[in-house]
Structure formats: C-alpha cells, structure tokens
Amino acid sequence: MAATPDARYAHIVGGRELPGTRGEHRPVLDPATNRPFAEAAVGSRDDARAAMEAADRAFRESNWAADDGARRGKALQRLAGRLEAEAEAFARLETRNMGKPLRESRGDIAFVVRTLEYCAGLADKVEGATIPVPGPRFDYTLHEPLGVTVHIAPWNYPLLLAVRSVAPALAAGNAVVLKPASLTPLTAIAFGRLAAGAGIPDGILNVVAGSGSEVGEALVDDPRCRSVTFTGSGDVGRRIAEKAAQRNVPLTLELGGKGPVIVFPDADLERAAKGIGYGIFGNAGQMCWAASRLLVHESLRAPLLERVRRIASGLKLGPGLEDGVEMGPLVSAEHLAHVLEYVDVARSDGGTIVAGGARLTSAPLADGNFLAPTVVADVPPGSRAVREEIFGPVLSVSSFADVDEAVRAANDSAYGLLAAVWTRDLATAYGVARRLESGMVVVNEAPSTFPQTPFLGAKGSGLGFEQGARAVEAYTRRKNVLVNVAAAKRPG
Ligand code: TAP
C-alpha cells in the first residue's frame, strides 16, 4: 500500500525510495496529540541535486516529453485511478499528519483525483497556432515542455496544493521535482510511490522532503530548474522570485490572503452565516483564501454576529479522525502560539472577543494544538490583526453603511486572493465583483473552487495562476517556426 502510517517515509528519486545521503529522519507529529506516529527523511543539498539530475535524465532519455500527449494522459488517468483506489488511506494519512477533519481530507483527495483526471484530458490538447504572414511562408507556434519543473508546497493542503501544479506540468511533458512542507511530507511521498505503477517513467516524478532553506533553495538554485511553482508565504515567495529572476526562470506564486466577506442588507442571513463559518473555520482557518474579514451592513450587524457566534461556539473540536469532528487542531504548537499572538493583538488594539479567543486546556484536547473558533468585533482597521494574515480560525468583524464604504474597506489590504459577496441583488453582485481587487470572487458561496476554474491572487497574493484549461500552457515554452515554402522541393 502506498499510504501507510507508523512507517518511515523516504524520498522518491529516479523511481526509487532513497533514505537520503545523510540518512537523517525527523519524527512526524500528530497535531491532535503532538506525539510522533511516523518518520520522514530529511533531505540535503545533495539529495536535491540527485533529484534534479534524475529528473533531467528522465526528461532527456525517456519518451515522456516526445510521446503522444494521449499516452501521458492515459498515465495520468491511471495515476488518478490508483489514488482513487487508495483514497481512504490517503485521507486518513493526511488527517493524521495535518490535523484537519477526515471529511475535509476526503474532499481534498477527491479534488486531487479530479485534478489528475482533468489534466489527463488536457495532455493531448496543448495546441499552437498558425499565423498568416506575407509571401510564400507558413508560420506556426509550438508549445514545448520546459524540462525540469520545481514545485514547493505548503502544509495546509499538503497533497492537493502539490498535485495542483504537478499534474499540469506532467501533462505538458515535463519532469517534476516536488518538495513538500517539512511538517506534512507523508501524502506527497505516498503519491510519488504510485507513479511507477501508473506507467510514468522513473525519474519523471520525484519527491524530496527536507527544509525549505536547504532542499527548497537548492532546487531553485539548480541550473537545471526550468520553472518554479511556489505556494506559501509572501516572504519566502519573494525570496524565490529574486533568485528565479537572476536566471530568467518563470515562476508561479500562490501566496497569502486576508479575504473580505461582504454581507449586504438583502443577503440570505442563514446561508451567509454558514458560508462565513466555513470560510474561516474550515481547515481551522489555515487557508490562504480564508474569508477572515467580515464586513457586514450595519442593519444586519447584530443578527449576523449572533448567528456567527452560535456557529463558532457550537463547532465540535477534536482529532480529525474522530467521528463528527468539525474542526481539528492547528498544524503545530508553534503555529498555535503564532495565531494566539494575533488574538492578543486584536484584544489589546481594542477588539471585543465575541467567541473563543483561547486554546483548549482541558483533557483530552489539551495536548493537541486546539484553538477555540474565534470571532473578534470592532478591531480597528489599522491593527495588525486586520492587516496581516493570521492563518487560523480568527474572524474579525466590522460594519459599513453603504456600497462604496464596503468596497473601500474590502480593498484596503495588501492582499487580494478571494473575496466573498452575499446579496440577492444581481446588479450589486455584478458591480461589486468588478470593483473588488482580488483574483477570485464568490457570490453567495463559501470559498469554493474546481480544477477547471482558475485559482489566482491579485496584489500581494500571487503571480500567475493555477487550475483551468490554460494551466498546462504555463508549463510550456512557446516556439515560433517560420517556413519559407518557396524553397521547398516540388513533387516529381
Ligand atoms: P512557507 O513557510 O512559505 O513554506 C512553504 C513551502 O516553502 C514549504 O515547503 C517550505 O519548506 C518552503 N520554504 C521555506 N523557505 C524556503 C526557501 N528559502 N526556499 C525555498 N523553499 C522554502 O509557508 P507555510 O507556512 O508552509 O504556509 C503558509 C503560507 O502559505 C500562508 O502565508 C498561506 O497563505 C500560504 N498559502 C497560500 C496558498 C495559495 S494557493 N495562495 C495556499 C496555501 C498556503 P519548510 O516546510 O521546510 O519550511
């Protein structure tokens, strides 16, 4: 089986499981208890180099890039099938490692399967253009794979956010090297083990675990690296962008967010409250697209706040593997401390805690990284708790008097990933969606996405995009070919 807990997880390089040159492993903790349950290899610069070398060799020597796209599509389809057959084991492993409720991990794995299937369908549709030019000439464009593509993933959706870029890169014919987050490497490694049986040549899909500062940087610095897709924090993203710029390496950045959710007076309050609850307490708020700033029309403030307070106070917290659990622990004790600091900032800047605001300290959850779902009202707009990404289950609430004030407050952020709008008035929805400075807008929906819809941020939230029919193109290089047909031999 590819996904087993209580085991050692090694790197996947050139189709083989390798313990790494230093033979170093780190314990992987269950965030619900902070006890170790598995071990993962910790890679070195040499391991990163070996993975790049294996990928480069496979790209040049296997038929992966040159083959008919339909064959790559079939291999990706088989990979999707293998993952689907083990979906429950993968979901349990994801929950054990990252903490989210099993229901959410099942959704994540289903999304990964769907992404692979979707990209499988795109593999033979990477089409160029023919361009009319004067004279006896013929001009056309080709989209060729880049070579070795590097993918650096975060810990909040460990497999989903890794495969979201790996799948289109493979569909385009590249060889990939994936570095999962140090805290959550298990499902990515288990996924790498599935590749061989799916007919993906050895070395086309490599996974190296290890720290960002060592393995991540070594992958980006490697001269064979032809593109970088990074999902994570803004500071690291900008550092990678500087390095990539030095060698003209194209890159995609999916960074943080501080999403506004705007509730207009005609909104369906019940649905809005549920959507707001999911948008900030789903995945314990550890979502780049978390709708973490609630902006509510002043006429609805009291009833909406009461509904959201009831949702926050009523959520069942516990280990993600337990039945009926609605919110799991935060990913690590360090991250819990980081989120609690922001709760303190919100409080000391004058915010009123409406729900939660503290970690759970009674048994049996005291050993885990559990934070009560938190709602804070009236934090001043200049507070760090409103301006910076908290990446936890903490919702700030403020009110507005008219549309212009709502849009101004929503756009008053360095980020621009996802914004949510609740209204039954189409003209308001359309007009506000146009004015919001964000890569994605959902109307009368909790944050939602599909493999076929683009995922992208504006302003400090990112560069480039993922998902959708154009995603495969991002992993290709355009080539223009101009042929003068006057010189061609005439038949006979
Ligand atoms: P980061 O600390 O930025 O880590 C992300 C990945 O980058 C990890 O694999 C990390 O490795 C690696 N890394 C760290 N330093 C590096 C370096 N110098 N060079 C190369 N790689 C390096 O983020 P995180 O804490 O895992 O995730 C939280 C952040 O990600 C939040 O800001 C969140 O908004 C953002 N995020 C954004 C999105 C989208 S789609 N926009 C989705 C999810 C998360 P280690 O694990 O070893 O540190």
Q: Which two tokens stand for residue 203?
A: 């070395």
Length of the chain: 492
pTM of model > 0.85: yes
> Left if phi > 0, otherwise alpha if psi is -120 to 50, otherwise beta: which for 149?
beta
Distance CA 217, CA 70 (A): 34
Q: Which two tokens stand for residue 11?
A: 């790197």
For the chain, residues with pLDDT lower than 50 are: none
Protein residue with its CA nearest to atom 48 in ligand 1: 212
What residues pair up with 482 in beta bridges, in sequence order? 139
pLDDT at 196: 82
Query: pLDDT by residue (tens digit) across 159-209?
Result: 999 999 999 999 999 999 999 999 999 999 999 999 988 999 999 999 999
Protein residue with its CA nearest to atom 35 in ligand 1: 232
pLDDT at 492: 64
Cα end-to-end distance, the chain, whole Å: 62
Which residues line ligand 1 at a C-beta cut-off of 6 Å?
152-156, 161, 179, 181-182, 211-213, 216-217, 220, 231-233, 236, 239-240, 254-257, 288, 389, 391, 417, 457, 462
Q: What is the DSSP letter of 7?
A: S
- Best substitution site from 42, 163, 225, 255 to test ligand 1's pocket, by max atoms within 8 Å of Cβ? 255
- The candidate with the shortest Cα–Cα distance to 397, out of 424, 374, 377, is 377
- The candidate with the shortest Cα–Cα distance to 3, out of 119, 159, 113, 114, is 159
CB-CB contact of 226 with 148 (8 Å): yes
CB-CB contact of 48 with 219 (8 Å): yes
pLDDT at 488: 77
Using DSSP bridges, classify how beta strands 11-13 and 16-18 pair: parallel, antiparallel or unpaired: antiparallel
pLDDT at 2: 65
Q: Which two tokens stand for residue 192?
A: 């790498």
pLDDT at 490: 72
What residues pair up with 263 in beta bridges, in sequence order? 296, 422
How far is ligand 1, taken at its centre, from the CA of residue 233, in Å?
A: 5
Cis ω on the peptide bond leading into residue 136 (within 30° of 0)?
Answer: no
How far is ligand 1, taken at its centre, from the CA of residue 300, in Å?
A: 37
pLDDT at 297: 98
Which residue in 53, 117, 217, 254 is the catalytic one? 254
pLDDT at 457: 97
Distance CA 248, CA 274 (A): 45
Chain-centroid distance, C-alpha 408: 28
254 is catalytic: yes
- The candidate with the shortest Cα–Cα distance to 369, out of 343, 392, 394, 346, is 392
Protein residue with its CA nearest to atom 13 in ligand 1: 212
